[in-house]
Amino acid sequence: MLKFLGLLLIGCGFASTVLASTIPEYLKVDQTPGQYRKHGIIPIPWGMEQPFPWKSVDGLWRATIVQKNEIVSNFEFKVVREEATGVRQLSIREVNLDTGVVVAEGVGRQKGEAVEAQMTTKQGVVYLVKIGSFNTKDYPVKVDPNQYVTNNSILLMSAALLDHPFSMTHLCLSRIYISDF
């Protein structure tokens, strides 16, 4: 019986280690008391979004934590239409920076002027993203003009694990290239 309990505890420890390693690093929650987000200290001005750039969003985008100039991931976006209703949706794939392998997928739906999606990693970890287009004057961080999605607007994203929705990471997206996945 003790041998079984020991194996069970080892198995649980292994499972928690595997699960922890499947969470994207930029989404891991800072456990320091009083801290509610690990990265992206300057929040996105939600409520000041411009119309979503449906016609210019297809492609591969690099996600950067602006304050640290730290590239954390790539995201592929493709505008699709729901067959039954014809409503536009955004097919989203997170792509590993080093290997190019798809690590998470989801479908975004328009909510107001933004797009919201539930993403699921290959290991079943669920996180939420909210993507919006903003006038560069409304974002307090100076952004490289190469990151503009249209003239004087940038694409920004907030992301959080489903079970930690108030521990958000705020990212600036810049187009790498237009793709058709």
Which pLDDT does position 140 carry in this prediction? 72
Q: Where are the domains of the chain?
A: 11-18+21-177
**What type of residue is 73?**
S
State the DSSP H helix or E strand holding residue 13, giving kind and residue range, or none if neither: helix 2-22
Model confidence at 6, pLDDT cuts 50, 70, 90, reads very low
Which of 1.10.3470, 3.10.620, 2.60.40, 2.40.128 is the CATH number of 11-18+21-177? 2.40.128
Comparing 130 with 31, the larger pLDDT belongs to 130
Comparing 23 with 30, the larger pLDDT belongs to 23
Q: pLDDT digits over 113-153, tens only?
A: 999 999 999 999 999 999 999 988 887 777 776 666 677 88
Q: What sign has the CA pseudo-torsion 42, 47, 48, 52? A: positive
d(CA 90, CA 6): 47
Q: Are strands 148-150 and 153-161 parallel, antiparallel or unpaired?
A: antiparallel
Of the candidates 178, 171, 174, 149, the residue with the CA atom closest to the CA atom of residue 41: 171
Whether the pLDDT of residue 78 is over 90: the answer is yes
SS3 call for 105? strand
